Structure 1
Amino acid sequence: MRAWVLERAAGRVPAVVLATVVLALSGCGAVRVPATEPEGPAAAACRTLMPGLPGTLYEQERVEVEPDSEFVAAWGSPTIALRCGVPRPEGLRPDSELFVVNDITWLGEPAERPTLFTAVGREAYVEVSIPQAYQPPALGLVALSELVAQDVPALPAGEL
């Protein structure tokens, strides 16, 4: 696998974009984001991660999600969405191009122009989508990577 390392310095962040997984806006101001249902160690890790997520991301306030889920968070409009405990990404293969942000390995999909990122190599897969309106996307991943590193235990070396 090839890996890139992103650092906080804006000049070192490649121009990658993320698309939102948000399906629709409801009339009550909540955003619709598919819920996840992790089990076992993944659920425990997500329950540790979620309460520590920031109230703002890219200066966007956290918004309500529908259906209500302890494993999903969203910010702003257009919506930035995070889902903890998603299934292993279908695109994760031995030859996948991965990159590292603050010690967290991320898979960007699609590979040629990533629009959705999933933290891999942890007890729970953490997926985040960031609309093109928020640039560079890596700034959001920096803040989230620190929390994932702190709250979601790493798998043994070599496991993704």
Structure 2
Amino acid sequence: MTQNPPIRRALLPATALLAALALAGCSGGGSVRVAAPVTTGSTAEQCAALKAALPATLQGRKLRDTTPESANTAAWGNPAITLRCGVGTAAVLDPHSPAYDLNADIEESGGVCWVSEQTAGGGFRFTTVRQQATVELTLPAAYAGGQSPVGLLAGAVLKADPVVRDRPFACV
């Protein structure tokens, strides 16, 4: 049985579209779902300035769109390294949190103090500790053991949100 040529021509674009969508899914294209913190005032302004200052690539990984679209989020690569701006104090630094840790690992990189925590999935979360608009960077387990990208983001963080000197946390 042969198909009618008009039907065959109509099926070709649909087949090409499905193939393109399948390839995009395999290549890591598309947007990344990242929970966007709600910010107002100067924190919202600093997060928007940070997003504008972020690099198009991070350790060779291209910047991707985030869902929902927000000035408070960014992502690079696949699996995605995600950034959220305007988050609260890291739980390991909050004395009211069950995760509070007097020995939390706080280190300086590029002039920015970051506390690091291992995530349940084997990745890492880095959170700034002396910025008004607290920034959180999450690396999936796939990048564990590699070089941390926080130093590469320090310039953008400092440009958008200089250090708040009266924060109680100190870098080692």
TM-score higher than 0.5 here? yes
Pairwise CA distance, 1:155 = 1.1
Residue 56 (structure 1) aligns with: 57
- In structure 2, runs of 5+ residues without a counterpart are 1-24, 96-101
Deviations 1:90-142 (A, max 9, x none): 2115823311101111011149x87100011111100001223335242x111
C-alpha distance in structure 2 between counterparts of 1:128 and 1:80, whole Å: 7
2:75 touches 2:83 (CA, 8 Å); kept in 1? yes
Please list every run of 5 or more consecutive structure 1 residues that lacks an aligned counterpart in the other structure: 1-24
Higher relative contact order (CA 8 A, sep 6+): 1
Kept in 1: contact 2:114–2:129 (CA 8 A): yes
SS at 1:91 equivalent: helix
Q: Would you tell me which structure has more helix in proportion to its own residues?
A: 2
* Deviation of the 1:156 alpha carbon: 2.3
What TM-score, normalized by structure 2, do the two folds share?
Answer: 0.68
Find 1:136's aligned residue among 146, 153, 156: 146
**Structure 1 residue ranges, 4+ long, deviating more than 6 angstroms after superposition:** none
Q: Indicate if the aligned counterparts of 2:112 and 2:128 stay in contact, CA closer than 8 A.
A: yes
Match of 1:109 in 2: 117
Distance 2:92 2:155 in 1: 24
Alpha carbons of structure 1 residues 159 and 40: separation in structure 2 relative to 1, 3 Å: farther
Percent identity, aligned pairs only, is: 32
Distance in 1 separating the partners of 2:68 and 2:29: 12
Q: Comparing 126-135 with 48-57, which one deviates more in the overlay?
A: 126-135
What is the distance in 2 between the residues matched to 1:77 and 1:108?
21
CA distance in 2, matches of 1:158, 1:51: 25
How large is the RMSD of aligned CA atoms in angstroms?
2.4
| Pairs aligned (count) | 133
Which structure features the higher share of strand residues? Answer: 1
In structure 1, the partner of 2:133 is: 124
Partners of 1:128 and 1:38 in 2: CA distance: 17
